[in-house]
């Protein structure tokens, strides 16, 4: 156990200068946030695309990274186009059906069987279905597109500051390309900025955070995708309108634990609208949707999560809710997304360095991460 160093005058001055430097650095980042945000977004996108670039380079035996980056962009564009071709037609059809159902509900809401009139009155007083129906019309979407083009032209003829602002977002693509070209060299540069004395510790912590984030988000994305597909299938079976849109929406909410429960609200409204148009029993339709929620939740908890996520967090549900509340308050929706991996990592470090016990599941070393005391060596082109 190393002895604590005494607080000499020199050490106090160093600590004060260090604190002032950190505060000044954060203030500078705050001032330059408009210029740094495009670079930060580009870095996150490049970080997500880099494994695919490395995979393409290795599988297709490409020399250099230019061809691998080009192939990666082509793959991303094709994947996005295929998703649009496969999903958008169904979404557009469902939006058209939903518009008709909303129009019918405005006039036929009192005919829904087994639903108290007070429920209809409350819904009609708090929700403007006529406005929702107009928002879903084709004319409204065409008007939005026209307004976008006219707004864009007004922007072009607007102030120089606004033009510079939008140009900064357009160069995000250039940032992504340049970061991907010299990804390993940039990592080495960041490591060399850290003093040699603290470099092993800082690199070790960064590697642990990277491993924790990668393992959690990759697993959670797979879980959310599978859950979204299951909800789509279930809602289609029970005949709920906008089944695909609602299923994908709930799947996306599943990225944050327990947030998929928010999907109950649109589900209830869609059941009311569908019962009004078709004359079916509202409670029967709503009960079928509840059954879909229960079945999907059981499949997720029993089969999907144990096989995909394993024991990534191992947190008590009460700790999960507390961490979601704290991180959500600090960082908003982004904080809720990163709450579980960061909480798990902090608890692991608390057990290791404060209590002195080795955690049961310490952060694992990533195959793509360097050792704590080694620098990432940039590959030779």
228 inside domain: no
72 inside domain: yes
Q: Show the tokens assigned to 69.
A: 């980056």
237 inside domain: no
- Closest Cα partner for 180 from 47, 62, 76, 63? 47
What pLDDT, on a 0 to 100 scale, did the predictor assign at position 363? 47
* Number of domains observed in the structure of the chain: 1
Mean pLDDT score, 77-104: 77
Residue 227 pLDDT > 90: yes
Residue 298 pLDDT > 60: yes
* 22-68 tens-digit pLDDT: 889 888 888 887 777 788 888 888 888 998 999 999 999 888 899 99
Residue 134 pLDDT > 50: yes
182 inside domain: yes
Residue 374 pLDDT > 50: no
* 201-223 tens-digit pLDDT: 888 888 887 777 777 887 888 88
What pLDDT, on a 0 to 100 scale, did the predictor assign at position 137? 56
52 inside domain: yes
What pLDDT, on a 0 to 100 scale, did the predictor assign at position 365? 40
What pLDDT, on a 0 to 100 scale, did the predictor assign at position 68? 92
Stated pTM of the model: 0.64
Query: Residue 236, class by beta-carbon neighbours within 10 Å (0-12 exposed, 13-18 middle, 19+ buried)?
Result: middle
Band of pLDDT at residue 7, cut at 50, 70 and 90:
low
336 inside domain: no
The whole-angstrom distance between residue 303's C-alpha and the CA centroid of its chain comes to: 23
Q: What is the DSSP string of 354-365?
A: II-PPPSSPPPP
What does the mean pLDDT of the chain come to? Answer: 76
201 inside domain: no
What pLDDT, on a 0 to 100 scale, did the predictor assign at position 371? 42
Residue in this structure with the two tokens 């946030």, named with its chain if needed: 33
CB 369 within 8 A of CB 214: no
Enclosing domain of residue 145: 30-193
Q: What is the DSSP string of 188-227?
A: HHHHHTS-TTTHHHHHHHHHHHHHHHHHHHHHHHHHHHHH
- Of 31-35, 48-52, 137-141, 168-172, least confident by mean pLDDT is 137-141
> Strand (E) positions, the chain?
none
19 inside domain: no
> From residue 299, how far is each of 226, 231, 296, 306 by CA, in Å?
10, 11, 5, 10
Mean pLDDT score, 310-338: 74
What pLDDT, on a 0 to 100 scale, did the predictor assign at position 210? 77
SS3 string, 36-66, reads HHHHHHHHHHHHHHHHHHHHHHHHCCCCCCH
Residue 9 pLDDT > 80: no
Please report, in angstroms and rounded to a whole number, the separation of the first and last CA atoms in the chain: 46
Q: Who's near 213: CB < 8 A, 6+ residues apart?
A: 338, 341
- Of 19-28, 63-72, 315-324, least confident by mean pLDDT is 315-324
Using CA atoms, how far apart are residues 129 and 123, in angstroms rounded to an integer? Answer: 9
């Amino acid at each position: 156990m190393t002895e604590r160093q005494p607080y000499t005058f020199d050490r106090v001055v160093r600590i004060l200068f260090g604190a002032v430097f950190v505060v000044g650095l954060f203030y500078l980042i705050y001032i330059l946030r408009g210029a740094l945000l495009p670079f930060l977004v580009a870095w996150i996108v490049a970080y997500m695309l880099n494994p695919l670039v490395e995979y393409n380079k290795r599988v297709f035996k490409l020399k250099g990274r230019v061809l691998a980056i080009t192939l990666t962009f082509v793959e991303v564009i094709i994947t996005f186009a295929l998703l649009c071709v496969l999903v958008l037609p169904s979404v557009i059809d469902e939006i058209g059906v939903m518009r008709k159902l909303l129009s019918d509900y405005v006039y036929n809401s009192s005919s829904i069987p087994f639903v108290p009139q007070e429920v209809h009155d409350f819904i009609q007083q708090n929700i403007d279905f006529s406005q929702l129906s107009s928002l879903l019309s084709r004319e409204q979407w065409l008007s939005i597109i026209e307004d976008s083009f006219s707004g864009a032209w007004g922007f072009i003829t607007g102030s120089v500051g606004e033009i510079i602002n939008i140009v900064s977002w357009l160069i995000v693509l250039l940032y992504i390309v340049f970061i991907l070209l010299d990804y390993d060299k940039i990592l080495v540069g960041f490591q060399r900025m850290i003093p040699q004395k603290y470099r092993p510790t800082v690199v070790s912590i960064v590697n642990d955070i990277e491993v924790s984030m990668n393992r959690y988000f990759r697993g959670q994305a797979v879980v959310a995708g599978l859950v979204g597909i299951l909800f789509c299938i279930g809602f289609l079976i029970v005949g709920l309108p906008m089944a695909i849109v609602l299923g994908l929406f709930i799947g996306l909410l599943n990225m944050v634990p327990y947030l998929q429960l928010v999907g109950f609200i649109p589900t209830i409204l869609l059941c009311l609208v569908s019962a009004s148009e078709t004359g079916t029993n509202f409670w029967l339709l709503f009960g079928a949707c509840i059954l879909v929620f229960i079945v999907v939740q059981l499949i997720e908890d029993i089969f999907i999560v144990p096989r995909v996520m394993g024991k990534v967090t191992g947190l008590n549900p009460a700790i999960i809710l507390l961490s979601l509340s704290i991180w959500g308050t600090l960082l908003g929706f982004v904080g809720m997304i990163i709450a579980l991996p960061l909480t798990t990592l902090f608890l692991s470090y608390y057990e290791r360095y404060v209590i002195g016990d080795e955690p049961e599941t310490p952060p694992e070393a990533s195959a793509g991460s360097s050792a704590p005391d080694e620098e990432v060596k940039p590959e030779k082109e």
